Amino acid sequence: MLSKKYRFSEKIADAYFDADFAMLENLAKKESVILITDENVFAKQKEKFSAWKTIVLKAGERFKNQNAVNEIIDQLIEFNADRQSFIVGVGGGVVTDIAGFAASVYMRGIKFGFVPTSILGMVDASVGGKNGVDVGVYKNLVGVIRHPDFLLFDYSFLETLPNEEWINGFAEIVKHACIKDENMFDLLKEKTLKDFQNSKHDIGKLIERNVDIKYNVVANDEFETGDRKLLNFGHTIGHAIENTAKLPHGSAVSIGMVAACIISEKINGFSHEETEKVKQLLSKYHLPVAFDFDKQKTWDILLHDKKKSGSDMNFVVLDKIGKASIKKIPLTDLHQIFFNCF
């Protein structure tokens, strides 16, 4: 086990890597802890929950809404939860986003911690303090920024994570490599998904490195005025494709990253060889690099994207592999590239 402290303006979050779920007993008084998980994680990891009060949510993004929060609040009342209660979200990003939000509003805010159980949850969703729920088609429309007291990483949860969810999570890992860490990009090139799936040591080190990357970006810009926007690499076009084509998030972001590389070639001097390297790496991790999507529909959604400002769009581009920046692109230029280059 390795413990680290992540400092934010509001609090210090303790992170325990390569830890055992049973360690929860040392982090909070057992009788005050209420776990929140989803039905998949609960069914596949049943023995871990047997000793704890647990609220089990329906699984999936579809259920990441205010109803889930209401359900949690009802069950918290049944458990006689009070200001001393401690909520622990045990699940993927959907669970930790909802659990952090419910804990932040119940009795005006009680303590909470996270045990992320998906790759995406471990390297992305559980880090950075954003919690919330969707409202209809609007993702994460309602929420708060509040950090958990602790993050506990027990890699044995990954033994039951479906393969497609591993792939989904690796899209964010490749994203981190592209924007911040050329050495990690090279490491990913040397290894395969199977290597990481078969080695707790290797996946553990990779997760730790990615948590550090996300933490450093967030800590430099907790309230998203600058650097944090770099985490949107591949996500602007990715989200638009995710909406039109109903692809998994990781697949849409993968295609979005390829598109962002091509835009980087056209406006930022990023080399074509580097775009090819990014494509090869994504393919290696079973992520799509091209897709026959409805361009007009996707463009229309893009125009509604919040990153648009007047006749320009702020767009995350790569300077080189491992370094990104934000460029204001005139919509006319972006339109030209969008319809002619991919």
Residues found near ligand NAD in the complex (CB under 6 A): 38, 40-41, 44, 59-61, 64, 91-95, 97, 117-118, 120-121, 124-125, 128, 130, 139-140, 157, 160-161, 165, 168
Minimum CB separation from ligand NAD for residue 66, in Å? Answer: 14
Residue placing its CB nearer to ligand NAD in the complex, 226 or 330: 226
Residue placing its CB nearer to ligand NAD in the complex, 115 or 262: 115
Minimum CB separation from ligand NAD for residue 129, in Å? Answer: 8
What's the CA gap between 242 and 182, in Å, rounded?
A: 27
Q: Which strands sit side by side in the sheet containing 308-309, from one edge to the other? A: 308-309, 312-320, 323-330
Residue placing its CB nearer to ligand NAD in the complex, 121 or 322: 121
Residue placing its CB nearer to ligand NAD in the complex, 117 or 236: 117
Q: Give residue 41's region: left, alpha or beta (phi > 0; psi -120 to 50).
A: alpha
Minimum CB separation from ligand NAD for residue 77, in Å? Answer: 25
Query: In a 3-state reduction of DSSP, which class is residue 136?
Result: coil
Query: In a 3-state reduction of DSSP, which class is residue 19?
Result: coil
Amino acid at the residue 251: S
Are 297 and 244 within 8 A, CB to CB? yes
Residue placing its CB nearer to ligand NAD in the complex, 93 or 322: 93
Residue placing its CB nearer to ligand NAD in the complex, 286 or 335: 286
Minimum CB separation from ligand NAD for residue 4, in Å? Answer: 19
Helices (H), 45-162: 46-49, 66-78, 93-105, 119-120
What's the CA gap between 193 and 131, in Å, rounded?
A: 29
Tell me 81's DSSP state. Answer: -
Minimum CB separation from ligand NAD for residue 318, in Å? Answer: 20
Minimum CB separation from ligand NAD for residue 230, in Å? Answer: 14
Residue placing its CB nearer to ligand NAD in the complex, 38 or 208: 38
What burial class does residue 306 get, using C-beta atoms within 10 Å of its C-beta: 0-12 exposed, 13-18 middle, 19+ buried?
Answer: exposed
Instruction: Report strand pairing: 150-152 vs 12-17.
Output: parallel
Minimum CB separation from ligand NAD for residue 215, in Å? Answer: 12
3-state per-residue secondary structure call for 243-294: HHHCCCHHHHHHHHHHHHHHHHHHHHCCCHHHHHHHHHHHHHCCCCCCCCCC
What's the CA gap between 130 and 144, in Å, rounded?
A: 6
Burial letters 111-126, b for 16+ CB under 10 A, else e: bbbbbbbbbbbbbbbb
Residue placing its CB nearer to ligand NAD in the complex, 49 or 299: 49
- Structure tokens given for 247: 């692809």
Best CA proximity match to 231, nearest among 284, 163, 171: 171
Minimum CB separation from ligand NAD for residue 158, in Å? Answer: 6
Minimum CB separation from ligand NAD for residue 130, in Å? Answer: 4
Residue placing its CB nearer to ligand NAD in the complex, 56 or 334: 56
